[in-house]
Structure 1
Amino acid sequence: MDIVQAMKVFARVVETNSFTRAAETLDMPRARVTVTVQALEARLKTRLLQRTTRSLNLTPDGAAYYERCVRVLADIDDIESSLLGKQRTPRGRLRVDMPGALGRLVVMPALGSFHEQYPEIDLVLGLGDKPLDLVQEGIDCVVRIGTLQDSSLVARRIGIYQAVTVASPAYLQEAGTPETLAELVNHRTVNYYWSRTGRIMPLTFEANGEVVEVKMRGSIAVNDAEAYLGSALNGFGIVQGARFMALPYLESGALVEILAQWKPTPLPISAVYPHNRHLSSSVRAFIDWITGLLRDSPLFASTPEVDARCRPTSIDAQDAGATGSAGDEAEPIV
């Protein structure tokens, strides 16, 4: 048997906690996945998985074998990468998930250059902000915005998200233009709520070196970035969204930036992946590509001034001054 392939199949079954999901993510028939794991157990003369109709659990031997598999597969990938170098072309199916607006407005228009560089990668791009279990759903990498907490994931900063406070000229003519944060109490907003928790997201501003949260009254709440910005265009109130989305409307005059002296705190944009899964050449290629894409845009690029104001990439970075583990804490409007 192909022991390396068997180890890959076994590891994916463990990570997805399902023979069916493992088969889907590996693009293999389910029966072949089952036979491969059975053959691996026969070769090792030990049971690796305890199977019931409702659950799938590692045996003690299976848990130890899985940890060794992950390290061996990572070593194999590193050896191949170092020996083959540029001769090795990243290939295969790559599943990536990212916020919808960022994907539609920034990444999708540039995908032609990605496929020119990596024609043998089959990219499966998910757009949305629903909670995801990367391991169980077989997702190789996600792009997330905000400070990250989940210690089972690793984050690499690829850009910086900047927000802007805006309203339409019609709204400002009707309600007046606020000159201070205190005046926001007399204004209305369209609230944005977090899909994960249903919690309303306050407007945030930097004032005297501190982050100030402002909750405003609003009779409408949405959980979609484009609907949120559209509500401002339609005169429903003051909103605070992504600068890369608002820029065309600011340039045309359809939206007006307000309270510019109190800017929202910049947030890190991170590529996130499970720490216990070896980083394949296709994942490396995508992360390098999207890092370059964002770095080349002034809307996402880092500067010393922006870096000084940006929130940490992870809780570990906040505590220890270094980029570390990742998961979502902040959920900006993208």
Structure 2
Amino acid sequence: MLNSDPLEGCSKHRQGGKRKASDAGEGPSRKQMRNQDLVVKEDEDKDERAQFEALYQEQYHLGEGGCGCVFAGYRKSDNLQVAIKHIPKDSTCYKEMEKNKLQLPTEVFIMLKLHNVKASGSVGSSAPIGLVDWFDLNQELILILERPVPSKDLLMYVWDNGASPEEDEAKIILKQLIDAAIHLENTNIFHRDIKMENILLETGSGVPRLRLIDFGLSCVVTERSRYQVFYGTPQHIPPEWYSTNTYTAGPTTVWQIGVVLFDMLHRLTRFDTTRFLDNELTVSRSLSEDCKDLLQKCFTENPEQRPMLKELRCHPWLR
């Protein structure tokens, strides 16, 4: 179950300690111990799954990606609408907690970290989608996530409108996206895969509210963190990875924010870094000069010359 402190309540998700041999004789053989451990794990898995099924009702399929599949559902006690994400165990990474050496699934750790720094301390109060509950089973990890109703991802929002949004509407969405990215940066979280499909818009009011989803590829960063293996959408790889085989969090996030803005305003053309660098993709001449300037700054090839997120937020187009 979800706790305000990620160190609390995690023992049920951890393997048991070593068993002590019987005082009489030599104790059970290694094979017997392995079989006993297997039975214990299977029993724990059944209990955990039974608890999940008792608390939540799974419904229809919502979508899937590289890290798992997602279903609509609701919490039985109060009909809270949720998204239920199933992640195969072989796709699950774990992060060790420094305080007591317990391990949490990395995506759970990331979402709990984001949850704990929210000013209100409650799910639903900031742009990153909230973690409601989670279950660590033998074959899979199950995450129970917020599911705002009504809502749709940004890609479907643009396509359902039949045309690219006007700059004023795109500006409202991009401001929220940059604010969300700054929030992650302040929390030392690198999303790694910001794109239209990972942006959810709550559509129940006149102004769409942005929610950032899918932290399956996210990681904790420091100012000196550099990466060589790219995790994310291949078409959105920043150019520095091609030239130096390394990339960093801030400049990559700014590049991907530019990708989102480009895709919003060029409905029939999806961004691709290599095509853009080869001049096969160009920014529409119909856009305002300030908008074109913002895109140009996001797509600066040298990451050291690319603006920081806080600088981007002060761009004239966003004022």
Bigger RCO of structures 1 and 2 (CA < 8 A, at least 6 apart): 1
TM-score interval for Structure 1 and Structure 2 normalised by the shorter chain: under 0.3
TM-score under structure 2 length normalisation: 0.23
